[in-house]
Structure 1
């Protein structure tokens, strides 16, 4: 018989063992489900790059307002677009007001016709919100008639809140930061700055930490039914098969389980892919069509999973091949050795050590060494935990009956208990390290806004054709608003076009001006030149009585004709600047309404600063509703004490989304593993019940069997996580600090997942605790 034929027969025999008998089929299904859950998450990971690209392409295809000075010329192909974004209960709503200037004006993606004035096209998610009771306040802000729905091509995700409404008179506001003229959608994207090494490190570590538990669970799943398989293979050794044949049979059985797991994984992924359209996590939603795995990465998963299954199985066969009688007699296994288990975390630290202190300014991190070092440290958890569990339970003594049953079981099969907990331990260790890294570098990507939240909490920008004093009075009448301070703001130049010297101009009544400067005296008609600012060197030059300046001077690429001349009066006074509500210091000129020349109001932009009592229900939403009533193009802003980098926030969002997926996998895989262990022990449980053991005692014994390894695993995970976190912080040149509240939170989440899984496994346990379970064929 040829070697190839012998290999084929041995592999086929192993595959047949995987599905032989009712017990074999149940074991195969459990293995397939366990492996399939991991494969589904791996396929989801391989689809992330395509999903991000698809979201970016959808966003780029509808680009309209680029906030640049150049606009398209007016023609029958031009379209006026106004940015009317808003927020509702912390949800961002993308809004655009459209006014076509010709028959061939471009339509936005996903839109078949332009809405007329008073009409609105909305995304499906926004329609559902507006038609629900929850959207009652928002409906007051968006009262236009809904005449259509935005198609998928115009949305970045199914849960996106977006609308287009008809506009009128937008040309008056061209060259502002919120209205522009375009002749096509999908303009050139702005060149983005390169990512700094610390953010790249965050991304690399994030993927390594989130994918490691998946690999651990797959490795544990292929060992489902390991005790029965070991006895079966040991019997083959006793009847004459050599070590090589035994390994080939085991490899065939592992390949069959892995192949079934791949099939289950594809099914789970397709089901999850279809359900993705109805889910939203941390403000992120995707269309099912986005989730197309990269062919190369999917092929890598298809090859890696069976290969890993075979390797894990062969590593577990050492006792079967060397001492088959020991397996048949279920003798106590040899004590585990520690020395080689310590090599893995030490090798991980050695891989990470060369990058210590590089930080943001001293060069890039080597991604391969980072991934290798993190993986070795986390794999070290899986290697150390079986040894730790074995040594710990060996010293446990007498106690209640449930305690003795649990301890004896752990002493005989500590490896099985450790395999069950390995995944949660790795996940917790990685989460602690990531949390330390995020907390350590957060200050580098967070800056104070400087806003004085004791004086104002919201700001509303108004267009030039809205009287700020009237608007301020409307806001004061809004429930929740304690006070409103209004300014008209703009710029002055020494020439109509392309001025050489410019200065800021602020128009308000005397009370409001005293909020931004120290005034000697003030009455309507006064004008002030501000002094005391280090950055404003132009005002002393421009503040010469009799000199003509121009409000709203135009620049290259902007439309001319808006300039309003203003002559510096002979009686211009001097005012000393003070820190205003925004946290900055104003320079330039301060004018009372009586000092403003005729027609100058249209050259200024209104700003209203609001002191809000947030104890009033929905105070911020009421302010936004008033703003929409006062000015359809108004832009309300909520003030915060700090501002965080968008890239950093995106990575944090990715962490939360990924952690949610991994926690779901952890819970599902642990439940499958627990059910498999209970199935393996059904005869033992039935025997104990038949001899009079109380079900409560057996239930407590199962709880102890889970709690002891989990407690040890979480202690080990905390130690490894803190070590890895400290190393990562040293790599980023950040002082090492431990947020013990976060450590406790991560550990508590891991324990809660295991507790929930244990409680869910109690009903199957009670069903197995019947004397009928002793029946056999």
Structure 2
């Protein structure tokens, strides 16, 4: 038969691609199954890529709304028709952050914040929908005790960071708003806010995290467009038999892949639209977004829409370059040519070549540096994945003998290990990247996490209340002690006092001293007082300070006023340290601080003489009592609506680092779900390719359990090899990244084993899920062929 006339140029390419697309949709049930699997695989990847391209818009919209509801501090601090008195409130309920603003409009033209129709009147409160639902629930009854306002409205999306944010505005009266905690505002901010600068190590963590999270998606898309490779080769051999040349058959194959990729774009767009509409119903790691925020950035979305079809064509053409398609068959059906190693090693070498010059000199500020780090990390991870097919091929060719399931599995891998290697390539690159990120993450976490020194065994909750308007110390402490779930309450009144010179003038600013008032049992939390009795006074110097003059001495006079810039006219504001005052050794308190100053028992000084006294109460809670922490917070709110209390903690994290970590966890969760879904699709595609072979083996008497074990072994071998490669690649990349930020190289082997085990667990779970379809494919009707 004469060969078909050659078609050249763009028209020839278009005609051949169109013919391949027709084969994809007119190939009967087998053709449609192959195309739909490709479309589903590509669609899953496209969905996550579109979500990733929406992240900049989500962050931008969130920052804009945050900036818009920020009060504008009055520069003149003069009362006017548009001014408001504002105090910001923060509390915690069941580890959920609740923020609010208390306000009092001073004029009749004061504007309401974004998302609020009118300013709440005294005793009223407008809440976010999520907070409203919480307050209406049975769980929120205890929170309602802490917010003694009547709910009169709801804040719409313009005034919230996200649909699940817990936020409120509460109206107060004039008498409450004159407190020092309030400030005068002219209105609310307008326009974009300023971007927050990140330190270099956090910039690097963000860049590498994005690379690691997106790489498995790209690799899976490249894998999905190669579904049905073996059957496709036999179809291409038939095309060669009717006169098509090699180049034409490759273009037709690319057209089939292109059709699946285009359908995948449609599937991905539909899934993205569904996910976008459900965005306000989902909260991941404390973050949520409105559907309107989930909008792909134009250039990034265009890049995805163009790159995915291009990837389908390029991957198919590259995959067929090493395949000789002849009229009577393809080379792949005989012993394949050995894979080359040199170019697979060249990729990570080039990546390390880009990263090594940045060791010790990475600043995280330049776009060139960011591009260099991104390119280097991508090359290292791609190189790690590219090594997997070569390693699997090199290892399995040495397998001989063994049980029957093992022989079936190894023989299958020896005949064609490509599909099995590609199926676990996503896990390989994910684990390699996760190891590198974890090494960098551990270093950044150490630098952005501070040890507070707080002793959580001596106090679990600390309340801070200003004693004003006749509020008594004992009244507050008794209320805490009567609160269910509070085992012990230690109350100390703190006040800053100023030494007075012999001529009656106050000491220079910066020489103020702390005076702490309390019972002996409470004072022992600050110093060692073996013989404490009521009426005694103790002078405490820091343990590291040998100069006793650093603290007041017996006979010194102290000004008890909060503002002692001028000599006191009333002797009531002056107090003389008794000659009987004793020296005491300081002790680290439950909050991790070392006290320095004067300790006074009730019998030595009247509490009413202290100006600006501040009651600090440290609580020990009973873990057996439900909601003990929330009950304590409610008791505090009865005496101070500012709710300044906090739970003690061993460590404290930088807020920027906390946001980055939360973002990485969100991305990792989405990527892991994609990897699991994509592997299920890949496994189904492989089983569909072997359906007839499996049915034949069962028909000849092969036990189904033997075939099931063979499938497990076919998955296990590439997994073990892939995890070994990913560990080596991840350690190498992580070491270079740590050197870039000047951190010592340290490996958390427990975390490394956990990540490798997670990768293996995902694959094992996917393989077990595939047992159901495998059992159905081994039925006799699998012998049917079209």
Same-fold call, TM > 0.5? yes
Q: SS of the residue aligned with 2:512?
A: strand
Please show how residues 472-511 of structure 1 align to structure 2 within 5 Å. Answer: 472-492=477-497, 500-501=509-510, 503-511=512-520
Q: Does 1:90 align with 2:100?
A: no
Question: Shift of residue 425 of structure 1?
Answer: 0.8
Secondary structure of the structure 2 residue equivalent to 1:106: coil
Paired residue for 1:648, among 640, 643, 657?
657
Q: 1:201 to 1:4 in 2, by over 3 A?
A: closer
Partner Cα distance (1:587, 1:190) in 2: 42
Q: Any residues of structure 2 matched to 1:98-137 within 5 Å, and which?
A: 98-137=103-142
Cα contact 1:118–1:166 (8 A) shared by 2? yes
User: Structure 1 residues 164, 535: CA separation in 2 closer, same or farther (over 3 Å shift)?
Assistant: farther
Tell me how far 1:709 sits from its aligned partner. 1.4
Residue 11 (structure 1) aligns with: 17
After the TM superposition, which residues 342-741 of structure 1 pair with which residues of structure 2 at under 5 Å, given as runs?
Answer: 342-358=345-361, 366-465=369-468, 466-492=471-497, 500-501=509-510, 503-511=512-520, 512-517=522-527, 531-532=541-542, 549=559, 551-553=561-563, 566-569=573-576, 571=578, 573=581, 575-576=583-584, 578=586, 579-592=588-601, 603-741=612-750
CA contact (8 A) 1:551 1:564 kept: no
- With over 3 angstroms needed to count, the CA separation of the structure-2 counterparts of 1:471 and 1:2, relative to structure 1, is same
Q: Alpha carbons of 1:751 and 1:18: their partners in 2 closer, same or farther (altered >3 Å)? A: same
* Counterpart for residue 167 of structure 1: 172
- Equivalent residue runs for 1:67-86 within 5 Å: 72-86=77-91
Q: TM-score, normalised by structure 1?
A: 0.90
Does the C-alpha gap of structure 1 residues 508 and 764 become closer, same or farther in structure 2, counting only changes over 3 Å?
same
- Equivalent residue in structure 2 for 1:338, among 321, 337, 341: 341
Shift of 1:322: 6.4
d(CA) in 2 for partners of 1:170, 1:256: 71
Partners of 1:463 and 1:633 within 8 A in 2: no
Q: 2:562 touches 2:611 (CA, 8 Å); kept in 1?
A: no
Q: Counterpart of 2:620 in 1: which secondary structure?
A: strand
Q: Relative to structure 2, which stretch is displaced further, 628-637 or 214-223? A: 628-637
- Which of 30, 46, 52 is the aligned partner of 2:59? 52
Structure 1 residues 603 and 74: alpha-carbon distance in aligned structure 2, compared to 1, 3 A threshold? farther
Q: CA contact under 8 A between 1:536 and 1:588: conserved in structure 2?
A: no
* Corresponding residue of 2:31: 24
1:241 alignment partner in structure 2: 244
User: Residues 57, 504 of structure 1: CA spacing in aligned structure 2 closer, same or farther, 3 A cutoff?
Assistant: farther
Q: Is the 8 A contact 2:486 2:622 kept in 1?
A: yes
- Does the aligned pair in 1 maintain the 2:103–2:177 contact within 8 Å? no
Q: Is the 1:529–1:539 contact (alpha carbons within 8 Å) kept by the matching residues of 2?
A: no
Work out the CA distance in 2 between the residues paired with 1:651 and 1:377.
Answer: 23
Q: CA deviation at 1:531?
A: 4.2
Please say which of residues 264-273 and 210-219 is displaced more in the overlay: 264-273
The CA deviation at 1:630 is: 3.4
TM-score, normalisation: structure 2: 0.89
8 Å contact kept, 2:250–2:317: yes
The whole-number CA distance in structure 1 between the counterparts of 2:303 and 2:549 is 66
2:645 partner SS: strand
- Structure 2 CA distance, aligned partners of 1:634 and 1:15? 66
Please identify, of 75-84 and 158-167, the stretch whose mean Cα deviation from structure 2 is larger: 75-84
Residues in 2 aligned to 1:420 and 1:79: alpha-carbon distance in whole angstroms: 62
User: Structure 1 541/504 Cα, relative in aligned 2: closer, same or farther at 3 Å?
Assistant: closer
Change over 3 Å in CA distance of 1:265–1:113 after alignment to 2: same
Q: CA deviation at 1:314?
A: 0.8
The question of whether the paired residues in 1 share the 8 Å contact of 2:90 and 2:644 is answered with yes
CA 1:365–1:311: 2 relative to 1, 3 Å: closer
The answer (yes or no) to whether the contact 1:117–1:168 under 8 Å persists in 2 is yes
What does the per-residue CA deviation read over 1:277-300, in whole Å, with 9 as the maximum and x for residues that have no partner? Answer: 111111111111111111011111
Relative to 1, partners in 2 of residues 1:322 and 1:24: Cα closer, same or farther, differing over 3 Å?
closer
Provide the rounded CA distance (Å) in 2 between the counterparts of 1:365 and 1:746. 32
SS in 1 for 2:435: helix
Deviations 1:27-56 (A, max 9, x none): 111111111111111111111011011111
Partner of 2:3: none
8 Å contact 1:432–1:721 — kept in the other structure? yes
| Distance in 2 of aligned mates of 1:394 and 1:381 | 21
Taking the aligned partners of 2:506 and 2:280, their CA distance within structure 1 comes to 52
CA separation in 2, counterparts of 1:498 and 1:767? 90
The Cα of 1:526 is off from its aligned counterpart by: 6.6
Pick closer, same or farther for the CA change 1:349–1:745 going to 2, 3 Å: same
TM-aligned CA distance change 1:9 to 1:565, over 3 Å: farther
Larger CA deviation: 218-227 vs 180-189: 180-189
Structure 2 contact 560–609 (Cα < 8 Å) conserved: no
| 1:331 shift after superposition | 1.3
Secondary structure at 2:490's aligned position in 1? strand
1:206 alignment partner, one of 195, 204, 209: 209
> Contact 2:88–2:100 (CA<8 Å) still a contact in 1?
yes
- Alpha-carbon shift at residue 152 of structure 1 (Å): 1.3
Asked whether the equivalents of residues 557 and 577 of structure 2 are also in contact (C-alpha less than 8 Å), the reply is no
Tell me how far apart the structure 2 counterparts of residues 230 and 174 of structure 1 sit (CA, whole Å): 80
Query: C-alpha distance in 2, partners of 1:297/1:400?
Result: 51
Structure 2 distance, partners of 1:188, 1:545, is 59
- Tell me the CA shift for residue 203 of structure 1: 0.9
CA distance in 2, matches of 1:373, 1:768: 44
Q: CA deviation at 1:656?
A: 0.8
CA spacing shift, 1:411–1:361, aligned 2, 3 Å? closer
Structure 1 550/416 Cα, relative in aligned 2: closer, same or farther at 3 Å? Answer: same
Residue 8 of structure 1 and its aligned partner are, at CA, apart by: 2.4
Q: 3-state SS of the aligned residue for 2:140?
A: helix
Aligned length in residues: 767
* Equivalent residue, structure 2, for 1:748: 757
1:259-315: CA deviations, max 9, x gaps? 111111111111111112111111111111111111011111112112221111111
Specify the SS of the correspondent of 2:463: strand
Contact 2:516 2:600 (C-alpha < 8 Å) held by counterparts: yes
**Structure 1 stretches lacking a partner, 5+ long:** 556-560
- Displacement, 1:166? 3.2
Asked if structure 2 preserves the Cα contact closer than 8 Å seen for 1:509 and 1:524, the reply is no
Distance 1:294 1:535, change over 3 A: farther
The alpha-carbon deviation at position 398 of structure 1 amounts to 2.7
Asked if 1 retains the 8 angstrom alpha-carbon contact of 2:362 and 2:369, the reply is no
- Larger mean CA deviation between 593-602 and 725-734 belongs to 593-602
> Does the Cα contact within 8 Å between 2:279 and 2:291 map onto a contact in 1?
yes
**Which of 284, 290, 293 is equivalent to 1:290?**
293
* Greater Cα offset, 318-327 or 258-267: 318-327
Question: What is the distance in 2 between the residues matched to 1:344 and 1:612?
Answer: 58
| Conserved? CA contact 1:499–1:553, under 8 Å | no
Deviation at 1:598, TM superposition (A): 8.5
Secondary structure at the aligned position of 1:297 is classed as helix
**Greater CA deviation, 287-296 or 98-107?**
98-107
Deviation at 1:739, TM superposition (A): 1.1
1:687-728 CA-partner distances (Å, limit 9, x unpaired): 223223333332222222222212221222122112222222
Q: 1:234·1:320 contact (CA, 8 Å) conserved in 2?
A: no
Distance 1:319 1:116 in 2: 77
- 1:558 corresponding residue in structure 2: none
Distance 1:270 1:585 in 2: 57
